[in-house]
Structure 1
């Protein structure tokens, strides 16, 4: 076997091991979700059943935790994406000598352990609500949203900033020269350009919030999310209903990814058609021919 063939074989082995390591646990959970034993079991398969999915849907704590996690995730998106957008815009506007300091400040929550963020969120807002007489705001869901948003917004800022660095400022200057106001430039020029980054930031913010445990376990107080419920169940011993939950989450994720890819391809095709139509119209105008409708 020559060197090239050996490298191809080793690369194939590496890829196989990589995907086995990546997808193996998901396959195990998927099989155990349809197996009949009371404890998650892959082999032997004693029978096929859908009872674990019914048991999952009938689990009040699990469903309440799922509902709370989704609600918190949506609120985190509503806070983190605008905050990240503002942070990215400020990054491009401040003086170059201050950017490194500003960048260090806004990215520091990402480098802070989640446990520290959770504890500090609870301590700060407990004292703040007590001193201001707004104790009713000292709520587990509100604290979790604030704690998670403090570092998830930094992720959003980095995504938006990467897109914003490719923005051509000449478009803004041209619009201002033509009489547009700054809000109009922001709404009609900058936001459409940042739309893909905003969508990616929103998805990342929701997923980061949904799976977060370190910050949530302290800031949620007496309430509970899906991650805290799952952590409690794992300490008591797992059941195949948790595997059924994993199958549903993976299935929803795959369907969402497929739907997004279909939408993206259709949007790209529509943009290409518009570009071809514009080029054809420009060529026809230069040739003195009638412009196609």
Structure 2
């Protein structure tokens, strides 16, 4: 009975989350100038419009630059933070953990206002590098949570064996722990990238004249509304689902591999 209830609950929640996509897909395939459901005729017109409209392309490129930069920064700093949190014992460990997770709890508008005040004083508004750092701060909690969980499941005897055989701490970590963390890094990198790519509120506060893809969508919704927006939403959703699925599959395969034969992998 418990399994049946959980299955029904899972189906209902999944259906509720996918319901907007069910309506977005046919709307994005309409040939009309306006949003209509159901569409009278199907066409890829608005998908083509996205790729030939330079404003959409430029906004996408800006989002990609910021997203890749924020992902790299969050992966580097988040992994180092995770190693310190898992393998060290110090008095302020709980407080430091809460600080790393705080961007997921604090409302985005509060963080955006605080960053705007600081960046305005330092004249960093309308600076792509400052915006990248802000996005990295938002993305880092995903990296810390996933990498911390993977590190806690890692068998430290493998790294200790490498140390006994003469490897330095850094070399032992690179050759034993890092391969185990690779799928977790990939999964957390995907989440961090999309957390940056989809960020709107903080970007609106500190982007200045920079226009990312979410800002471009927001401006389009404010001025006009054509089926290009649903087409972009469908493409982003499909890419997100694909990336997260690949990351989760890689993470599970890696865990099964190390659990089945950890000695041979070492």
Rounded Cα–Cα distance in structure 2 between residues aligned with 1:33 and 1:126: 39
Counterpart check, 1:33 vs 2:28: yes
SS in 2 for 1:165: helix
In structure 1, which of residues 183, 187, 204 is the aligned counterpart of residue 174 of structure 2? 187
CA apart distance, 1:139: 4.2
In structure 2, the partner of 1:233 is 220
Gaps of 5+ in 1: 130-136, 279-293
RMSD: 3.0
TM-score by length of 2: 0.84
In structure 1, which of residues 187, 210, 213 is the aligned counterpart of residue 200 of structure 2? 213
Q: 1:220 to 1:56 in 2, by over 3 A?
A: same
Matched ranges for 1:162-173 at <5 A: 162-173=149-160
**Does the 8 Å CA contact 2:125/2:208 hold for their aligned counterparts?**
no
SS in 1 for 2:201: coil
Rounded Cα–Cα distance in structure 1 between residues aligned with 2:246 and 2:95: 40
In structure 2, the partner of 1:112 is 106
TM-score by length of 1: 0.77
CA apart distance, 1:229: 0.9
In structure 2, which of residues 47, 51, 64 is the aligned counterpart of residue 53 of structure 1? 47
Gaps of 5+ in 2: none
**Does the 8 Å CA contact 2:126/2:209 hold for their aligned counterparts?**
no
**Does the 8 Å CA contact 2:63/2:197 hold for their aligned counterparts?**
yes
Rounded Cα–Cα distance in structure 1 between residues aligned with 2:235 and 2:18: 15
CA apart distance, 1:227: 0.5
In structure 1, which of residues 224, 227, 232 is the aligned counterpart of residue 211 of structure 2? 224
Rounded Cα–Cα distance in structure 2 between residues aligned with 1:114 and 1:28: 28
Report the more deviating stretch, 159-168 or 102-111: 102-111
